[in-house]
Amino acid sequence: MINQKQLERILPKVEKPARYTGGEINSVVKQEAKVRLAFAFPDLYEIAMSHMGGHILYQLINEEEGLACERVFSPWTDMEAIMRKEGMPLFSLETKRTLKEFDFVGFTLQYEMSFTNILNMLDLGGLEVRREDRLESDPLVIAGGPCVYNPEPLADFIDLFVVGDGEDITLEIMRRYEKGNFSSKKEFLQSLLSLEGIYVPEFYEVDYKEDGTIQSRRALVAEAPLVVQRTILKNLDEVYFPEKMIVPFIDTVHDRVMLELFRGCTRGCRFCQAGMIYRPVRERKKDTLVQLAEKLEASTGYEELSLSSLSSSDYTEIEPLINELTEKFAEKRVSLSLPSMRLDTFPKELLKKMQEVRKSGLTFAPEAGSQRLRDVINKGITEDDVIKTTEELFQMGWSTVKLYFMIGLPTETEEDVMGIKDLSYQVKEKFFQIPREERKGNLRINVSAACFVPKPFTPFQWFGQPTMDEFKEKQVMLKKSIRDPKVSFSTHDAATSYIEAVIAKGDRRMGKAIETAWRNGCVFDGWGQFFKLNNWLTAFEEVGLDPVFYANRTRDFDEILPWDFLRVGVTKEFLWREYQRALNETITPDCRNNCEACGVIETYGKGVCQ
Ligand code: SF4
């Protein structure tokens, strides 16, 4: 454990000491436990505490007899500088144990640009970053979350990846560890190989062809499966969800209580990794959700309840759920938010009802500027949907709209890019077509255009990302043309998205580049002020990797992709079919109405899709 007095002396010198104190409402301090896991989020406290998965695992483990879960986050740079100067190792917020004092350090991988923070946290915690250099007495470093759907770039650093829903499997790993029927870490890891969703990189080797693509993968022990299947929880209604959540002392990114409606999505947007890897759709029942909402509100005192999922307005019982919750919470002035709802299909009267307590801005994600390109990405929103819905909502009194787009999507032309401006301006016109005396508020349209990053397990996994220069050209084109005091325009940094694509599509050799970049000073790469493109480019050069090979190269169907050994539900054949349909500008309807045979039923059995 770290020295408490030393910590007390340091804290007044840093920004927001509450990031490091723990002790918040609903946090759990277990002095006695047989097995301890440090839940590690490789970013700042304010981001980490907004992550629903972390809240679920934390309370789940801590409700178990003999098991403990504590939190460890990336300290901000001011705190890290003092910790390194004073020789204070990274510590947990609950018992102030150092990483070495845990049995497991469990990272959640949400974003490739936080990978250097993982190495930094291990190092600050007194652990070697490479798994082969760590001692038998050191904790096992495990990882889960969306980025494990290509675990290979982190294969040098992580002992064990958990692919899929983490609740049951995490408890199973900890319980098996508690029994202690093993003589070494290696033996323990080997004993887990029969479980669904477990990937242990040290038991595999990869060979490469001369052109740099993968030749083959080999298992080094008989128990290691050549195909690792993602583990899923089929009946979400019976899956644990906490009745309380930690309430931070300071503002966080999502300062509200979160309730998960369902996992999975049937829409089939071709750019969306979450929409593919979390299939099938599994819902919680309305009554379960209402009960949980009441308990969560009572245990946290929050005034906002966020109904979370990939597409919340698709929840089967959304209307009765919102009606019941608004009635229950009206007096307490608790507002509801649906961060990922599709405004085009959402009943407007319901929206009005939801916003009676607190009115927030409107967010629309057409993703692409032209109908042609929206068909390519299978977005399923028409220009009419956007225009008519915003018109209706302007008439109901809204005046702030956010429009999210991407640039650099497959087959994009100059016309598609300019379509972003055209659509935004059409939305503006609708506001001013309302008679002046009936308009409410001052119109504000915030348009943002992110740089598209092709991700594993999407139909666009084969697609080569445009170069940084191409992205910049498109950005300049839009910046020059969107010139209206009512419409603001922002873009994402093309260089950050480029490195994100390089890592996302990386193979095992990428680990050396990540480590070199970190040793060259890269941390908090997702934060614009810290991102150092040149350090990354130097790192690739030093380890002999060509970033263009990873980010900008379009692949063939026959190429073995680094993540092909994972079986997640959707098959490679389905994804390829969708890619071809994209190139032919053919849409695929929502599979809720018509099964598209994506592979989920073959993988998980009949009846898994609702
Ligand atoms: S198996 Fe059919 S219904 Fe189920 S997720 Fe895939 S396409 Fe949709």
**Which token pair is 117?**
């923070």
Task: Kindly give the distance from the C-alpha atom of residue 290 to the centroid of ligand 1, in angstroms, as a whole number.
Answer: 28
Position 567 confidence tier, pLDDT thresholds 50, 70, 90: very high
Residue 70 burial (CB count, 10 A): 27
Probe residue for ligand 1, chosen from 593, 601, 608 as the CB with the greatest number of ligand atoms within 8 Å = 601
Tokens of 223: 């128990």
**Ligand 1: centre distance to CA 571 (Å):** 11
pLDDT band at 359 (very low <50, low <70, confident <90, very high): low
| Rounded CA separation 106/378 (Å) | 35
% pLDDT > 70, the chain: 99
pTM: 0.96
The pLDDT of residue 392: 87
With beta carbons less than 8 A apart as the criterion, state whether 386 and 404 touch.
Answer: no
Q: Whose CA is nearest to atom 6 of ligand 1?
A: 598
* Three-class secondary structure of residue 245 per DSSP: coil
Judged by average pLDDT, the poorest of 39-48, 178-187, 312-321 is 312-321
In the structure, what pLDDT confidence band is assigned to residue 185 with cuts at 50, 70 and 90?
very high
pLDDT of residue 501 exceeding 80, the answer is: yes
Q: What atom of ligand 1 comes closest to residue 608's alpha carbon?
A: 4
| Average pLDDT, integer, range 77-81 | 98
CB of 266 closer than 8 Å to CB of 592: yes
Lowest mean pLDDT among 225-229, 425-429, 606-610: 606-610
* Contacts of 495 by beta carbon, 8 Å cutoff, 6+ apart: 468, 531, 533
The band of 375, judged by pLDDT with boundaries at 50, 70 and 90, is very high
pLDDT at 270: 98
Cα 146 to ligand 1 centroid, rounded to whole Å = 20
Residue with tokens 């652990």: 127
For the cut 90, the answer to whether the pLDDT of residue 298 exceeds it is yes
Reading the block at residue 383, the tokens are: 């220009």
Q: Which residues line ligand 1 (CB under 6 A)?
A: 266, 279-280, 591, 595-598, 600-601, 609
How far, in Å, from the CA of 601 to the mean position of ligand 1?
7
Across residues 211-239, what is the average pLDDT?
97
Q: What is the mean pLDDT of the chain?
A: 95
Residue 201 is predicted with a pLDDT of 98
Q: How confident is the model at residue 357 (pLDDT cuts 50, 70, 90)?
A: low
Q: What is the pLDDT of residues 573-600, one digit of tens each?
A: 999 999 999 999 999 999 998 899 999 9
What integer pLDDT is reported at residue 490 of this predicted model? 96
